[in-house]
Structure 1
């Protein structure tokens, strides 16, 4: 068998097509996919769709079966052409509704009456009744034609009944899948080919080793992996004569006919104008649940159980998809969703509503009883205390089609839930959801509800990049601060890396702290530490943080301390003073402070709920730096930009696991979440998690690596430092920056350099933000200076080699790192490359570069990029230009010319390019004033090489003029996308070549000449 990892992109593409053919897809060639469309803006293969609509649809009237009229079929096709005026996701949603539900069309009947009948586009129940096609290099006309490139050409498009529902972008093993993801996301830009993505349901980017999938509109960070065990027997039946790759497995898993249609119909939802597709754990959890409920015990009760999916992995979406699947599978089913908190109940109700499921929220026990007795199809949501109130009634419903979905079902308040539920719903099926593992004592008690249906742990979610890993740092502050040595050391730790001015500011805060009552000193020390940590590491990055405190008084006190400092914006969310939350206040003064501060704030809002909602919205938007909480918002609250949780609160068991998960959500350029613990809940995290009291009630295997000690992460920056040192080993003079820049002339070496630098800066930043760094690393100055040097080197080489390497939002974080800890020059703010035809500004770029060789390298790199971009416009000219540059480089590397001569030669090349004079010789008079004809003359010259002689060039000039005229007479708006125009030009060129053979007895390779002319015409005349 051949090695699947020795490959090129064409081979990967060919193998993927063959696999899809083995799955029952019919291949359509690139030429065929063009001929099957009127123009390249069309993306549906209408003839195939028309045929399938006729095949799949009919209607019955008075005992007879009829086929739909031609008009109805045409209308059905036209109705899929949804405009993009409401945005891509809305148009995709409108198309999706039609694909799933079909449309109704009016027919004129034999008795001259008119009635409407339903027509479907896809037979989801019988996959084999549909036709599946795959095509490659699917050229689609861009929305914005005011660009040189008129089309985009995805690698593979998968059609169901002629409708493009799948897209695959392929790369060879050595190329990052991220490139494919970025391409697919870029295609959806309003100026490119969003009209194709009105129909796309599953998008895949992959190489033989790595594959990610998504749907239309999915942000890069939410692209997911698919994992599934497939038998060798199955794989060998669909992959012939080579070893199956990860790409093969995932193409089978996502695009075998039945699964493809199943995912589209059952595992895709729209949630508040965001399209979402199930992750693999959601898919298999729902499949297992649907299988489980088909089993009944002796009393006719369906088999339920527990779904444990770690927090942040999409548990709410799983509940929505399962609910929809249950309603579709079980007629007259009644579904009740139970939570333990009003805010969670509200959140889940909104999630169901956005997913377009009819949902009713029971606000009282009486209201719940009423809803349960009504014969409505809606999903009912409620909180546990309302449910228990309702269950004091006698039997409400004894159907086995009642399903009770309970969120966080392990909690103690559910202890008596099962018995009461059995009384009110004797045959109901219980399905529990949890985001944290069961404690040891819960495992036995839970068995009465059923088995473990499916689990997806924190370790799995981190490995799949569904959540970010969590880094833990213990900074325990004693309850009573009387140790002066400890205080002095703490001051030194906090003040490290501060400028003299910043240290003076800190000393003022420290002086205030030393005057406060000893009982509040601890809060002041922690507040100063948080304040400085936030300023150093989070201010200006777009990230924010939460602080978990032990009581409402502490929350308010922290808020006032931060207000006095005036460095960061804070807010607190607590329960009203008369409600219990956290540690109860015994001190009257403390109670009075809480009441006063609460009163000041709440008077500016309509209600407590209004205040909480607005604070949450502001925090999620990044308008609040630090949100201070007691119990509220430590569970069920998602704020993806929140990257740090400061803990000054006693937490254990589920509460601890739920709290730390506030910072594990995905966000742009967020690589991990940070837990900074001032309570010593997990000490130094240098032992097994279950050896700490806070997590002792769990099994170690269930916790996995829930958190990572920051010390482990710290050492990673040393690893990337070593990679950088190794990369530059061939540089002999380590003090010569020019030698470094010359060494990085190689594209691949620059890519390695950029990659290592990004990781080095990131992990050094993590290290410098930790107190532990000063105990672990002796020579920090060396590492800081290295970062400063490499950042400057990056700026210089990106300019010298005419490229912009964008680190994304990490540019801001790198600048923050330099400002805070290094004191280096600014990170280069990346802008668009200056066009070489913008002579004045490009000359300014040249002036910015120091040294003759560096200036010459910049010109060379810029011209080479122009050649690559424009090559098809005039291949012979640009090939000669490439050879000219190559010749100069050879002379320079062989030291036959100096730096000055190298620069002069490159400046001459640049002037020739900027002049736009592409003449390669003296041309016959006939074409001397026609630039287009001269380009044609140069590019067909080689095909007539056998006929050189007297008058040859005049004959060639004449045919070049005729070719030019033939092209221009066919030009019209959007001609590049019109296959009819292409065919007309090709036919005209071929006729002229036949005439030439008849008149001059010149016989040439017509096919190659036509291909060359068409390539040039599209680029030059398009």
Structure 2
């Protein structure tokens, strides 16, 4: 055996993971050794182990209640997998209640399934090749982690020898298939892991690939303590599956949040878990009460609200904190509503939102155990005394302040600290400040945890933000304005000039001039129409004043068909013209929700603001911010981060600057260390080196090939692994082109992009690759390629010609060579076999074997190309005549596959008897047909039972079940109703 024979998924990934878990105290067993512990192969809970655990953790519980608890776990009543999963999680972390008399009458008693307080009081088991069988088929996950007999974690391993871009994606596809085929297993699953040693990600049920997250920090361990040069898989395993962290994640870091009419299960990201654990460690082990506080700096878009929720959950559960009071403080009403809603949606018990100044004082005075949400503005002094009262001297109060930089250096914050002098203050921010007069860390204490802009982009938690300055001739700089004014009014004295300037010639007046706004509005419309709208994204315009915001709205309405909405605050003395653009709270909320929806649901493309929605506003569909207002310091960083949220096919956010905020940006970034804000904004030019590199990779597939010979280029993509690699390279190249176009620096690559798009489309047609579709490219790139393909007479969006169509022969004859004819027929046959295999597995399996024999003979030079073409023609003809052969035996198209299957299984039987049996079996199927019968277990059970009765006379017992299932599978394909 060569050394490379050990380079496989089992050795490189699965065994390595098992060994690491064993080193962490897990027991390892092979799946087959657990068969004796299961009543059927459909069991996903290890009943004996769970029963033993129930008795050990709850020694007071009698046998009747033990069986009752077991039944409630085995049979969870729910209408969906997610509902069952949520119910089980509730039972796991909040325990089950049963009635039993322990000597003081019959009372509700709490039943533990897991001992979260004493880690070693549980059983941890990792199992490989654990087979689970149901009517939908059999699955065999690579690894399952059982705790006390409950299957809490599923791990899918993929070979690191696969293409790097496919390793995680293939594993996630498999996990999604498992969820479709074996729902009961996922009633109990807490999270799933996909690992290939070099890569590892984790996600929850229902999650698509983009929602699977990295785990880059094994906190509280450090990477060197895991081993020399630990892989991403090693780090994830140590960080998520150590006994302590696994139980902590399950108990405190999973929430179920309703979103868009469905429930989303959310698992903490590594930075959220780390920040909460660090905060708890500081709270529990600080040298003094004053040292308990600090700052969590996690860049915007990385989930601060959920971090606060996870911390609140943990604070509430820790016995050492003795039922603390938790106060959440924000400085904006929309943030207060958002965080309160997050807590309520995620099932946090009874968060109370302070409705006013007086109610807040009452809530803070009511003693331990409360969760209070409030605006900092509600810490107002009494008008009579001008002082704020002390409301609680308890040290058992934890105050979490969101966006702690904005309002924590003034009188209201002082009042808050007067009200709760001994509380622990924890600041959460995306943009902390460190200046002499305002300092986040000086106010709250040292940093607890940092998660910077660049880390978030690297992890895919946010997208990078590009910066582009436009219409520089329209920029207004203060010094230029002063010089212009002084020349114009030079005959006036200094005092008079200053009065005129204040009244008529301030910077805001010139920026908001109608002529200037019209010019910018035209530029915005053209830019949006060309670069943003084609990919389905939306835009925010930031104006210098409410009047300017309204002008932008009017110009957009006048000059374009795009729907827009102005979101501005109202004033008591506003003119009628201003008031008509102010929305009532309900209407404003409705417009914001419309803006967040895709264009298929809402045509609202622009939202125009002045101050509102610059911070604390999440609209992932927003890709661009058109900025025409001077914003400084943290407000500027907060504003630009509106574009960094992740969204389908969104690779970057964009700031288009009409004011000239780059000088303010430098000042804003200057308050941080360089490493903290690295990557905050990138000029478009920064994408050019990556574009050049991706261009080289994509073009390398056609080195040493005459690129004018399309057939030779298509042949270069014949191996499936090469096609897959080329597909990834092409998508990355087109992604960079979409970012840079129409910047002139993209021009040198346009012809190669057209060439690659053409070859890609020809390969799609030849090799029947449905996934190779230019609709996955950015719209700018897609349109460029589509136009070129039409000009080149290449079919773009049509399926390959059906092998049974008369046009197929014409297409074969158009091939330039015998090799091209053979290639076209080979891949047409492969495509036909692939899509028809379910219809007639016997016939198409035989056809597949014959095809492979022919291709192998040709590759071994045992067959001339002309003979291969003739043999392939015969196979095509045989496929066309298949229906006719069935009719010759007296069968319909639906019955013939049943006959071929039974003939294969009953090779010794008389053909006439097999024909009779075929009619009997298909007759049973047809007699049981009802609407959607394939989804009705009772109908399928009865149908299978009758088929087995008829087969017993002919087929031996060991094969009976398998043949009956194959016949049922055929019935599901051919007799749908």
1:627 alignment partner, SS class: strand
Deviation of 1:525 (Å): 1.9
1:973-1008 deviation per Cα after TM superposition (whole angstroms, max 9, x unaligned): 899999x99xx99xx99x989xxxxxxxxxxxxxxx
User: What is aligned with 2:614?
Assistant: 634
Are positions 1:16 and 2:17 aligned together?
yes
Alignment of 1:353-752 (within 5 A): 353-357=344-348, 358-375=350-367, 377-389=369-381, 392-411=387-406, 414-416=409-411, 419-441=414-436, 446-479=441-474, 519-578=513-572, 592=575, 595-596=576-577, 598-599=579-580, 602=583, 607=584, 609-622=585-598, 623=602, 624-682=604-662, 692-693=666-667, 695-732=669-706, 734-752=707-725
Residue in structure 1 matched with residue 750 of structure 2 by the alignment = 784
**Paired residue secondary structure (1:528):** helix
Instruction: Report the alpha carbon displacement of residue 802 of structure 1 after superposing the two structures with TM.
Output: 2.0
Partner of residue 253, structure 1: 239
Aligned to 1:484: none
**More off after superposition, 386-395 vs 453-462:** 386-395
- Alpha-carbon distance between aligned partners in 2 of 1:820 and 1:436, rounded to the nearest angstrom: 43
Name the SS of the counterpart of 1:42 in structure 2: coil
Q: Within 2, Cα distance between the matches of 1:832 and 1:57? A: 62
Note if contact 1:620-1:639 (Cα within 8 Å) is conserved in structure 2: yes
Q: How far apart, in 1, do the equivalents of 2:3 and 2:471 lie?
A: 54
The 5 A counterparts of 1:136-215 are 136-141=128-133, 150-175=137-162, 176-180=166-170, 182-183=172-173, 186-187=176-177, 191-215=180-204
Q: What residue ranges of structure 1 are gaps of 5+ in the alignment? A: 60-66, 237-241, 482-515, 580-590, 684-688, 918-928, 939-953, 994-1009
| Deviation for aligned residue 1:564 | 1.1
Answering whether residue 82 of structure 2 is matched by residue 89 of structure 1, we say yes
TM-score relative to the length of structure 1: 0.77
Deviation of residue 618 (structure 1)?
0.4
**Distance in 2, Cα, partners of 1:663 & 1:108:** 59
Shift of 1:715: 4.2
Q: CA deviation at 1:531?
A: 0.7
Q: Cα 1:736–1:557, aligned 2, differ >3 Å: closer, same or farther?
A: same
> CA separation of 1:443/1:284 partners in 2, compared to 1, >3 Å: closer, same or farther?
farther
Cα pair 2:644 2:653 within 8 Å, conserved: yes
Partner of 1:907: 876
**2:866 alignment partner, SS class:** coil
Q: Distance in 1 between the 2:797 and 2:41 partners?
A: 35
- Paired residue secondary structure (1:740): helix
Once residues 522 and 392 of structure 1 are traced to their aligned partners in structure 2, the CA distance between those partners, rounded to angstroms, is: 49
Contact 2:812 2:825 in 1 (8 A): no
CA distance in 2 between partners of 1:756 and 1:17 (Å): 34
Q: 1:327, 1:897 → 2: CA distance?
A: 78
Report the CA distance between 1:467 and its aligned residue.
0.7
1:57 partnered with 2:58: yes
Go from structure 1 to structure 2 and tell me whether the alpha carbon gap of 1:351 and 1:808 turns closer, same or farther (over 3 Å shift): farther
Shift of 1:814: 5.7
Q: How does 1:236-251 map to 2 (within 5 A)?
A: 245-251=231-237
Give 2:934's aligned residue: none
1:934-983 CA distance string (max 9 Å, x none): 53478xxxxxxxxxxxxxxx7999xx99xx9xx99xx99899999x99xx
> Is the 1:302–1:400 Cα contact (8 Å) retained in structure 2?
no
Structure 2: distance between partners of 1:295 and 1:424: 25
Partner of 1:290: 280
Q: Distance in 1 between matches of 2:528 and 2:156?
A: 41
Residue 244 of structure 1 deviates from its aligned partner by: 5.0
Q: Aligned runs of 1:92-103 on 2, under 5 Å?
A: 92-103=85-96
Question: Aligned-pair distance for 1:297?
Answer: 5.6
CA contact (8 A) 1:873 1:1019 kept: no
1:192-247 per-position Cα deviation (integer Å, ceiling 9, x unaligned): 333322211121111110111122233432221112255678535xxxxx985331
Deviations 1:110-151 (A, max 9, x none): 99x744422221111122222222223344456xx5xxx723
1:285 Cα offset (Å): 0.9
1:207-246 equivalences under 5 Å are 207-228=196-217, 230=221, 234-235=225-226, 245-246=231-232
Cα distance in 1, alignment partners of residues 33 and 668 from structure 2: 65
What is the aligned counterpart of 2:771 among 805, 810, 819?
805
SS in 1 for 2:580: helix
Seen in structure 2, the aligned counterparts of structure 1 residues 848 and 185 have a Cα distance that, compared at 3 Å, is: farther
Measured in 1, the distance between the counterparts of 2:5 and 2:402 equals 44
Matches within 5 A, 1:1001-1020: none
Residues 395 and 5 (structure 1), Cα distance of their counterparts in 2 relative to 1, 3 Å cut: farther
Q: Secondary structure at the match of 1:118?
A: strand
| Cα distance in 2, alignment partners of residues 977 and 462 from structure 1 | 52
- Equivalent residue for 2:271? 281
The Cα shift of 1:905 comes to: 4.5
Return the alpha-carbon distance in structure 1 between the equivalents of residues 672 and 786 of structure 2.
40
Aligned equivalents of 1:680, 1:286: Cα separation in 2? 39
- Within the alignment, does 1:27 sit opposite 2:28 as a pair? yes
Partner of 2:740: 767
Give SS of 2:535's match.
coil
Distance 1:296 1:137, change over 3 A: closer
1:428-465 CA distances to partner (integer Å, 9 max, x unpaired)?
A: 11111110142343676732532111111101111111
Give the direction of change, closer, same or farther, for the CA distance of 1:203–1:841 in structure 2 (3 Å limit).
farther
What is the number of residues matched between the two proteins? 886
- In the other structure, the counterpart of 1:351 is 342
Is 1:126 aligned to 2:115, yes or no?
Answer: no
C-alpha RMSD over aligned residues:
4.5
CA distance in 2, matches of 1:707, 1:174: 36
How far 1:255 moved relative to its partner?
1.3
Normalised by the length of structure 2, the TM-score is 0.80
**How much has 1:841 moved relative to structure 2?**
10
Deviations 1:701-753 (A, max 9, x none): 33211111101113433332222322101323x21212211221111221122
Tell me the distance in 1 between the aligned counterparts of 2:120 and 2:884: 61
Deviation at 1:312?
0.5
1:756 to 722, 729, 752: 729
- 1:122–1:161: 8 Å Cα contact kept in structure 2? yes
Structure-2 separation of matches of 1:171 and 1:44: 25
Q: What's the offset of the Cα at 1:80?
A: 4.8
Partner Cα separation in structure 2 for residue 141 and residue 163 of structure 1: 17
CA distance in 1, matches of 2:303, 2:5: 33
**CA 657–243 in structure 1, closer or farther in 2 if over 3 Å, else same:** closer
